[in-house]
A and B are shown apart, each in its own frame.
Chain A
């Protein structure tokens, strides 16, 4: 079907009679001028009456067609295909859409509504888009695809996460946009107010939900027990009663009944004895509610075992003693093949294994530092001790960090460097057996920090936690905006083919033909060369 973008231009067609009139009465321009009429045989010598009765120049038809073509081009003709109506369906696949109502999730209900809406409107092809990742889309054709609506959620196949609605101005204006949502997500509602949505399919009525939003475990300093914390939120408007159970593997470690006021929260502390690094920790709320996905949280690991560290025999005794007393590591036996880390105390030892290495370089002529050293920022944000320059004895020979990153030192020389690549290799360029240093309490903190940087984890006070955003657990449907942002008519949404270039081309061809005919009539002779 052909439509016009600016049909008012067609009013110019009313001027075509004037064109005919000009061709009828402009006899002087129409006649072929000859040098000598007496050479021609006598014909019908025209008088005024004959001039009135003569027909217009036949070229008026060609020129009228030319003018009509130009007017059509200005009117912007467009060819619209009714079979190419495409609907982009944006799916709110947030966690709240997994809420079970009447035996099926909100997402399944919404897909049922979508199927019925497609049947009513006769739309044969849609594109399913996930709001978690708008770039992912699944095409579906009624006549070709055998996928039933139960398979549509599987087609999306995206892990849970935050929603990323598309930028409104980048949405395809030639397509029709629909939205499937429960209205529980504030961001989606805000986006829906601006997006050119033609239809919104909203599902869901339940608003009460209790969610477990935090599970955190922190081993105590003695290492025998761990303290835990859970946060339970009532996101509905009614008083709720739940039972919180904490399991280590299959073993129940803690259980407590909770009364949760409307929109209230409860922080539950518990203590775990004999933390087991082999089992995962799981917290569950019972009985399950409409959104069961947020009634449990689990930790794959909630306790860490001591790291095995091999210490070279030539290391200074104060260092060996300090390492041996660290509660987070175990000094490996000399014959042990695999360790988590090794400590070497000579310049020639390379990093040959796959484990992190702490390399203490021997200082031949150690002298106290003249300037106070400073710490650089590290990834683990360790609270490094303040080491006084008079405690640190080092060779005055300038050294370059090379490919390693300086961690501690002065402006002249780095005293501790860390390799950028893993496994981490830490080089220490000051005397770790200096008596004034080993007597300081900062000595143990320094060694713990070096071990933590090398191993990539805290050896003291490590916290294991799992949490969920509270916004994900809100399932109360909010009123959705009216789907009136798309003011286009159904016909205007069809695929358009602009016919203007075709009209311009046709007009150009007609113009060329008219020019050639005009030159021919005027007996055009090629320009005289050289004259």
Chain B
């Protein structure tokens, strides 16, 4: 039995906010598939299956034809019958658990967890099967594939129980490549802080036929804020490598430029390879990042 952690980032992810996110996502997506055409084959429109999936509360935008009057009378709330969507697919959410996500008071990790929960909820609402993988120097299955309302409860529980690596390790997305089967969607939520921003492994995943979408967690603390004109010792949180240098103004500006260049290079790479790319900065609310992700899908597909 897991113990609920107080002040967990998921405490800020409420059911009501998730429901609002779904209401906003419904008209934005307007039944569009979450994956680009050509990478996956979609038989029919979403929600047009025949296999009963579950009941859920009616939300604005739902088709009244699927209103289950008996279930609504029993629960005293309008209930919608949901069916297994024949257009749905499996989604893997790859969550970066490396130590770099914990620098500067876990802000990046907290936002990544919140976005994982939000996207999982959205995907499950659309009838997809969702699983979550955590990766650092190895890949761990945080949540096996599943769908339905219970899957979100399992997702939330898994996220509450998962912790990032504090020191050492690596950000090796390649470890998750073996579990990303073709025709499955893959959402990578990471800070992509590795030389060349994980481009080689991303290229391999695209080549393997994965529908890849990236959510880049950005934090200006990534390039540090040491005292100016002081000889400091810096230590990489993952490799634990140390270096001593004098933090002149030129050094700090150069580091900042390298950080921006890494971000721009990743964005260019995604654009060139048809990968959905969403940047979410630490400090903004998770709903802002989730909506930006949904909008990026709409722009890309629409």
Inter-chain CA distance A37–B226, complex, in Å, is 13
B254 at the A/B interface (Cβ < 8 Å)? Answer: yes
Choose one: A32, A45, A530; the contact of B241 (CB below 8 Å). A45
Q: Is the CB of B193 within 8 A of A35?
A: yes
Q: Is the CB of B245 within 8 A of A43?
A: yes
B12 proximity list for chain A (CB < 8 A): 530-531
Inter-chain CA distance A46–B236, complex, in Å, is 12
Query: Which residues in chain A, 21-55, are within 8 Å of chain B measured between CB atoms?
Result: 27-28, 30-46, 50, 54
Query: Which residues in chain A, 499-531, are within 8 Å of chain B measured between CB atoms?
Result: 520-521, 523-525, 527-528, 530-531
Stretch binding the partner chain, chosen from B98-106, B152-160, B291-299: B98-106
Stretch binding the partner chain, chosen from B73-81, B85-93, B137-145, B217-225: B217-225
B195 at the A/B interface (Cβ < 8 Å)? Answer: yes
Query: Which residues in chain A, 62-107, are within 8 Å of chain B measured between CB atoms?
Result: none
Inter-chain CA distance A34–B245, complex, in Å, is 13
Q: Is the CB of B286 within 8 A of A531?
A: yes
Q: Is the CB of B235 within 8 A of A32?
A: yes
| Given A34-B236, A521-B227, A531-B111: A39 and B245 interface contact (C-beta under 8 Å) | no
Q: Is the CB of B286 within 8 A of A34?
A: no
Choose one: B100, B114, B235, B239; the contact of A531 (CB below 8 Å). B114
Inter-chain CA distance A55–B276, complex, in Å, is 48
Choose one: B111, B191, B245, B282; the contact of A40 (CB below 8 Å). B245
A41 proximity list for chain B (CB < 8 A): 245, 251, 254-255
B230 to chain A, nearest CB (A): 8
| Given A37-B234, A39-B222, A43-B244: A525 and B110 interface contact (C-beta under 8 Å) | no
Q: Is the CB of A39 within 8 A of B223?
A: yes
Determine the residue in chain B with the shortest Cβ distance to A37: B236
B301 at the A/B interface (Cβ < 8 Å)? Answer: no
B117 to chain A, nearest CB (A): 12
Inter-chain CA distance A32–B111, complex, in Å, is 23
B227 proximity list for chain A (CB < 8 A): 520-521
Q: Is the CB of B100 within 8 A of A35?
A: yes
B234 proximity list for chain A (CB < 8 A): 31-34, 37, 40, 43
Query: Which residues in chain B, 111-161, are within 8 Å of chain A measured between CB atoms?
Result: 111, 114
Q: Is the CB of A37 within 8 A of B100?
A: no
A528 proximity list for chain B (CB < 8 A): 107, 110-111, 282-283
Choose one: B219, B233, B283; the contact of A31 (CB below 8 Å). B233
B195 proximity list for chain A (CB < 8 A): 38
Inter-chain CA distance A41–B232, complex, in Å, is 13
A38 to chain B, nearest CB (A): 6
Q: Is the CB of A37 within 8 A of B243?
A: yes
Determine the residue in chain A with the shortest Cβ distance to B191: A35
Q: Is the CB of A523 within 8 A of B221?
A: yes
Q: Is the CB of B262 within 8 A of A30?
A: no
Determine the residue in chain A with the shortest Cβ distance to B114: A531
Q: Is the CB of A525 within 8 A of B221?
A: yes
Choose one: B111, B114, B262, B286; the contact of A39 (CB below 8 Å). B262
Q: Is the CB of A32 within 8 A of B224?
A: yes
Inter-chain CA distance A44–B242, complex, in Å, is 9
Inter-chain CA distance A527–B111, complex, in Å, is 12
Determine the residue in chain A with the shortest Cβ distance to B224: A34
Determine the residue in chain B with the shortest Cβ distance to A46: B242
What mask results when residues 200 to 238 of chain B are scored 1 for a CB within 8 Å of chain A, else 0?
Answer: 000000000000000000010111111100001111110
Choose one: A36, A44, A521; the contact of B100 (CB below 8 Å). A36
B245 proximity list for chain A (CB < 8 A): 40-41, 43-44
For the complex, count residues of B whose C-beta is within 8 A of A: 45
A48 to chain B, nearest CB (A): 11
Determine the residue in chain B with the shortest Cβ distance to A527: B105
A530 proximity list for chain B (CB < 8 A): 12, 285
B242 proximity list for chain A (CB < 8 A): 27, 31, 45-46
Inter-chain CA distance A527–B259, complex, in Å, is 23
Choose one: B111, B114, B193; the contact of A36 (CB below 8 Å). B193
B227 to chain A, nearest CB (A): 7
Query: Which residues in chain A, 11-26, are within 8 Å of chain B measured between CB atoms?
Result: none
| Given A41-B255, A531-B110: A525 and B243 interface contact (C-beta under 8 Å) | no
B237 proximity list for chain A (CB < 8 A): 33-35
What mask results when residues 253 to 278 of chain B are scored 1 for a CB within 8 Å of chain A, else 0?
Answer: 01100110010000000000000000
Inter-chain CA distance A530–B17, complex, in Å, is 13
Q: Is the CB of A34 within 8 A of B223?
A: yes
Inter-chain CA distance A523–B219, complex, in Å, is 12
B110 proximity list for chain A (CB < 8 A): 528, 531
B100 proximity list for chain A (CB < 8 A): 35-36
Inter-chain CA distance A35–B244, complex, in Å, is 16
Determine the residue in chain A with the shortest Cβ distance to B261: A39
A523 proximity list for chain B (CB < 8 A): 104, 221, 224-226
Most B-side CB within 10 Å, residue of A34, A44, A45, A46? A34
Inter-chain CA distance A298–B42, complex, in Å, is 136
Choose one: B222, B251, B258, B285; the contact of A35 (CB below 8 Å). B222
B262 proximity list for chain A (CB < 8 A): 39
Q: Is the CB of A33 within 8 A of B221?
A: no
Inter-chain CA distance A40–B227, complex, in Å, is 14
Determine the residue in chain A with the shortest Cβ distance to B111: A531
Inter-chain CA distance A525–B111, complex, in Å, is 15
Q: Is the CB of B222 within 8 A of A36?
A: yes
B169 proximity list for chain A (CB < 8 A): none
Inter-chain CA distance A38–B224, complex, in Å, is 12
B228 to chain A, nearest CB (A): 11
A28 proximity list for chain B (CB < 8 A): 235
Q: Is the CB of B243 within 8 A of A531?
A: no
Q: Is the CB of B233 within 8 A of A54?
A: yes
Q: Is the CB of A39 within 8 A of B233?
A: no
Inter-chain CA distance A52–B289, complex, in Å, is 46
A524 proximity list for chain B (CB < 8 A): 105
B105 proximity list for chain A (CB < 8 A): 524-525, 527
Most A-side CB within 10 Å, residue of B9, B234, B237, B239? B234
List 26 A-B pairs, Cβ < 8 Å.
Answer: A27-B242, A31-B235, A32-B226, A33-B103, A33-B234, A33-B237, A35-B222, A35-B223, A35-B236, A36-B100, A36-B222, A37-B235, A37-B243, A39-B223, A40-B245, A40-B258, A43-B245, A46-B243, A46-B244, A54-B244, A521-B227, A523-B225, A528-B107, A528-B111, A531-B107, A531-B286
Sample of 4 more A-B contacts, CB < 8 Å, known A33-B234, A44-B244: A34-B236, A41-B255, A50-B244, A531-B12
